[in-house]
A and B are shown apart, each in its own frame.
Chain A
Amino acid sequence: MTAPAPPPASPVLGAAAHDGIVAHGLARSFGAVHAVRDVSLTVPAGSVTALVGPNGSGKTTLLLILATLLRPDAGAVSVAGVDAVREPVEARRRLGWMPDTLGVWEELTCHDILASLGRLYGMGKAEASARADEQLAWVELTEFAHRPARVLSRGQQQRLSLARATVHRPSVLLLDEPANGLDPAARIRLRDDLRAMAATGTAVLVSSHVLAELEEMSDRAVFLHEGATVATQEFRATDDLARPYRIAGPDPTARDTLVRALETRGLTVTAATGAGAGQRRDGVVVQLRGEAAAAALLADLVREGVLVSHFAPEGSRLENAYLGLHLEGPRTEGDRP
């Protein structure tokens, strides 16, 4: 039934391209609503790229375009070197997609779902069944192999969904809000799984509004605002950027000593910003460039005898980068763990 797959033709970017995702000038509107206006992004193979933006910024629409489910009004997408707009089937062969709604065939068993999806990717019966077992072992759902998917918990369904999205061994993986509704343990597990997949050369694009968590798993972030990519950030480079550190001593009344010590070192001290109601936020905030600078400052303060009980970066780097964009309009809603 299934002919052996010839090597993928890639008319757009050349035969050698195995580049994850490259998108240029994507736009898509629904009637008068311009969900995606101008998106250009790259997701390199072997990396986890975070897609960051407030609700309504076009994240899901963008992922649907990348997943070949929506046709862009303008722009070009290449998935693993295949023009995804002109050759959606070839692109589908190479991409896995995990939607924010965990679609589950409630009456089918976990093994049945994975094997059937494997069949829909052109595998033979035996191959699909073996692949289903392999995937179930990977997400540790083997004990549920022959039980209907409806008995799974949300976290297990999400793992099944990940196994489903990768059943055909895609080289590009798209995940829409995968951490939604997961407990912290399941989130950590998801992070590890995505990092492991990136380590094998998969290009992973993951959208979320839980910024701190995205930061833990991603190498890069693409910021989306009102349907357009507004910035891209490599996290390894963020050390060169100023980021806020909160410094506090054990005695709140000794705050003046601390402020003076910092100001003599030429640092601008801001008051405890963002102190939420009922939240104990002692100390002061200074902007520091890089971890080396932070370490030097701490050593310096200790050497001088300034009592320090708290010395830590304030907020996540991703959050700071995001807030640093000073975007108008709706802010990312707070769902900080």
Chain B
Amino acid sequence: MSTAVATSIHDRRPPQPQPGGRLGAAQAVATVVGMELRQRLRSRGWYVLLGVFFAVVGAVTLGALGLRSLGVAEMEASGMEPELAEQQMRALGRTLFDGVLLFVLTLSLLVSPALAANAISGDRAGGTLAITQVTLLRTGHLMAGKWLAAWIASAAFLAAALPWLAVAAVVGRVSPWAVLVGLVMILVEFGMIAGIGVAVSAITGRTLFAVVVTYLIVAALTIGTLVAFGLSLQFLQTEVRASDAEYGSMTAEPFTEAELEKMTPEEAEQAWAEWEAAHPELYDGIADRCVGPVTTRTIPDPRRSGWLLAANPYAVLADASPWEGGLIEDGTRAEPGPLNLLSVGLRWTQRDPVRDVECLDGELRGLDSTGVPDRQGTWPVWPLGLAMQGVLVAGLSWWGHRRLDTPAGRLPAGTRVA
């Protein structure tokens, strides 16, 4: 290093002053993204993390495949009718794919806040933030570049999970449309989480604090919305007048021990089947009679707080997923998969709770409590969820921009510009 001392200044031409050019938005954002990605892609920890992600998603997918093959084997062994078996296979496949998709979202919710929240506060700690801020780079372009880079980085995790999602989709015979919508919604959610992380890291001075706050916000979206909704039901109630519904149940054994002993197993099965056919009210989810006095009762009314759940990333993913619980060719209904079931649960909050009260005013209404769920008469929740998340990201980004902009006015306590 000290060999440089001998060099005369005449050997090296010092920079001559000359004013520079203009910096366009695309060049600014692209340069920030490029620097950020190259900085990340060259660190080994990143690849280790991707490898672990790939392995964990793979393990879960293979485990689910194993469970599914057990189910298939059982169906074959029981000699089920081909149509029914096909229907069951589809339901299992959908469950497999939905499960893997939900798992990928969960893992990403755990990983991407840490990646994104490091973006700006990490540069601040490393002393490189101020260096980019004395260039022609505008604060908005800096944040946009960091956000895009964080988004691309989390998308890499989806890419790592893609082979397994493909396996689940092919084995589960999931429609391409459902696969596409699932992937797109996961990407959109990654964008939201990355936006939150980058904005928070612009707001706070310290990396650790930014990471923790981002995790808390993600927790507020995933768990907090559920808790808030649950609590709200304590306060949002409505009164109905109803009596108790009574569901049929066996009051006495239809066959005595002695009778059963006389039958062969085939005869016994036949006898049971006949008895079941003769008493359908015992085996359905429909109330048989209303009993007791008609009284005033309070039941939770979710209609005014159901929107809280929309901000949940799982809710957005589930509700946007194509509905496959409709009629299939032979007139029977397909079993909805986990994402569809989640969506039904979400949209249940849009319904008048009185609709589900059996024995309203003491009248038997014959509601089927075990019927295939449907979403009829409800509106999609996911656009509301995306809007809520978007407003959150926009608000945080605005705040972050104010904190980050230079020349800096007020500084967060305990932070330095450089």
Q: Which residues of A are interface residues toward B (Cβ below 8 A)?
A: 1-5, 8, 30-31, 64-65, 67-72, 85, 88-89, 92-97, 99, 101-108, 112, 116-117, 119-123, 135, 137-138, 140, 148, 153, 155-156, 164, 166, 168-171, 183, 185-186, 188-189, 192-193, 195-197, 199-202
Contact = CB atoms under 8 A, between A and B. Distances in A.
Given A2-B24, A196-B9, A99 B127 contact: yes
A140 B22 contact: no
Contact of A140 (B4, B127, B417): B4
A193 to B, nearest CB: 7
Nearest to B39: A107
Question: Interface residues of B toward A: which range?
Answer: 35 or more
B2 interface: yes
Contacts of B21: 2-5, 121-123
Nearest to B26: A1
B20 interface: yes
B331 interface: no
B408 A120 contact: no
A116 B23 CA distance: 12
B30 to A, nearest CB: 8
A104 B128 CA distance: 6
Q: Which of B13, B18, B22 has the most CB of A within 10 A?
A: B22
Interface stretch (B133-141, B161-169, B247-255, B276-284): B133-141
Interface string B378-416: 000000000000000000000000000011110101000
Contacts of A170: 15, 17
Interface of B: 1-2, 4-5, 7, 9, 12-24, 26-28, 31-32, 34-35, 38-40, 42-43, 123, 126-138, 406-409, 411, 413, 417-418
A107 B137 contact: no
Nearest to B408: A70
Contact of B417 (A64, A106, A192): A64
Contacts of A120: 23, 28, 31-32, 132, 135-137
Q: Which of B2, B21, B39 has the most CB of A within 10 A?
A: B21
A268 B19 CA distance: 55
A292 to B, nearest CB: 30
Contacts of B39: 105-108
Contacts of A85: 407
Contact of A196 (B14, B31, B38): B14
B20 A123 contact: yes
B141 to A, nearest CB: 9
A333 B204 CA distance: 33
B22 to A, nearest CB: 5
Given A103-B128, A200-B14, A200-B16, A185 B27 contact: no
Nearest to A199: B14
